[in-house]
Amino acid sequence: MSRQRIAIIFGGVSHEHEISLISANNIIASLDLTKYEPFLISIDRSGTWHKRDLSHYLDNAHKADTVCLSGTKEEMAIHITSQGLSFISLDTYQRYPVDIVFPILHGKGGEDGTLQGLLQLAQVPFVGTPLLGSAIGMDKEITKRLLREANIRTAKSITLHAHNKYTYSYAKIVSILGSPFFLKSAHAGSSIGVHKIFHQEAFASALEDAFIYGKKVLCEEYIQGREIECAVLGNEHPIASLPGEIVPHHEFYSYASKYLDPQGASLLCPAQLPPDVIKEVQELSLSVFQCLECEGMARVDFFLSSSGELLVNEVNTIPGFTAISMYPNLWNHSQLSMTQLIDRLITLAFERHRHLSSSIFANTLTTHDNRPIS
């Protein structure tokens, strides 16, 4: 039986480029090669798409940033027809049709709905949340607006825009949010561009840094308490994992404590919580997942305040798949191995696409070698 060809797209132009490479390596290494034929597409920092050799990638993925530019130099273009999506080599003009796409691009250009919109236009199955939910999840301010509309608690915040970034003085922000408070880009992940502000002297430089990553910045109240995360999996009827806990050993769970300092944080899987709190985290995670139009997968992050109140921090629609990432680790502790998790995500992508095709599109779904997808 022929394997289904899965295009795994990784790298990208965002500041989370290196994390994407590591996530992709773990996914590739865990893929069931009896069922799936990996077709690797790396995007370098300039935005150029490259076809990568599987064996070379597995041998060199630990080199992080250099891996996108080593090995094969074939540049690729996307070709969309009524038959679906293919990649075409700009060197040999060879065509590579694919059955499904697994985007593992964190941040800008991969997690924000731009790639998902292209894949929806191409009518190709893909893993993860579609355009709308991806765009919502990437914008922390819009996420907060929708959650508040649904009466789901989040930390108080103030939104600053690039064209009027000094509308609120430091003193005014402190009068509303208290001190210290967090300052963060509304569009970046992996805690990039996040600052904990204790004094007015740090405010101006932190503001300028946060605006490097987008045109919108959030000032957010500091919640004294614990950081809890929960993984969600599914489409119309999602399920939630056991919750986990992040215990930062830095001032907060920064990029450095996540990826640069091996001792930067402790990851507790599962979190030590009373049964009623576990149930509340799981139920609230499912509510957030559906409220924000997520599908396939997402990680929902919470603050558990010292008073016992759960507040949603954010949602991550392409969570990390590194060795320390909570999403696969939480499912592993919920009796779902990495290989089983990836297989389930691919199945969910085909199920969603089959449903959309039967209700909207007349085209018959086929594999890359024109076999009907059953």
**What domains can be seen in the chain, in order of their start residue?**
4-127 (3.40.50.20), 156-221 (3.30.1490.20), 224-350 (3.30.470.20)
Is residue 11 within 8 Å of 20, Cβ to Cβ?
A: yes
Q: Work out the angle at residue 342's Cα, subtended by the Cα atoms of residues 340 and 343, and round it to the nearest 5 degrees.
A: 65
Strand-pairing partners, residue 211, are none
Q: How far is CA 234 from CA 102, 141, 165, 278, 348, in A?
A: 15, 25, 39, 19, 7
Write down the pTM of the prediction: 0.88
Rounded to whole angstroms, the Cα distance separating 240 from 238 reads 7
Rounded to whole angstroms, the Cα distance separating 53 from 51 reads 7
DSSP character at residue 257: I
Please report the pLDDT score of residue 361 as a whole number: 47
- Pairing assessment for the beta strands 216-221 and 157-161 based on DSSP bridges: antiparallel
Note down pLDDT in tens along the chain; length 374 residues.
Answer: 689 999 999 999 888 888 898 899 899 989 999 999 999 999 988 899 999 887 666 555 555 444 444 555 689 999 998 878 999 999 899 999 999 999 999 988 889 999 999 999 999 999 999 999 999 999 999 999 999 999 999 999 999 998 888 888 999 999 999 999 999 988 876 567 788 899 998 898 888 888 888 889 999 999 999 999 999 999 999 999 999 999 876 555 445 445 454 566 788 989 999 999 999 999 999 999 999 999 999 999 999 999 999 999 999 999 999 888 899 999 999 899 999 999 999 999 999 999 887 764 444 445 555 555 54
**Which amino acid is present at 204?**
A
Q: Which single residue is written with the structure tokens 């430091």?
A: 170
CB-facing half-sphere around the CA of 234: CA atoms within 13 A: 14
Q: Which of 99, 124, 123, 118 is nearest to 6 (CA)?
A: 99
Is residue 223 within 8 Å of 155, Cβ to Cβ?
A: yes
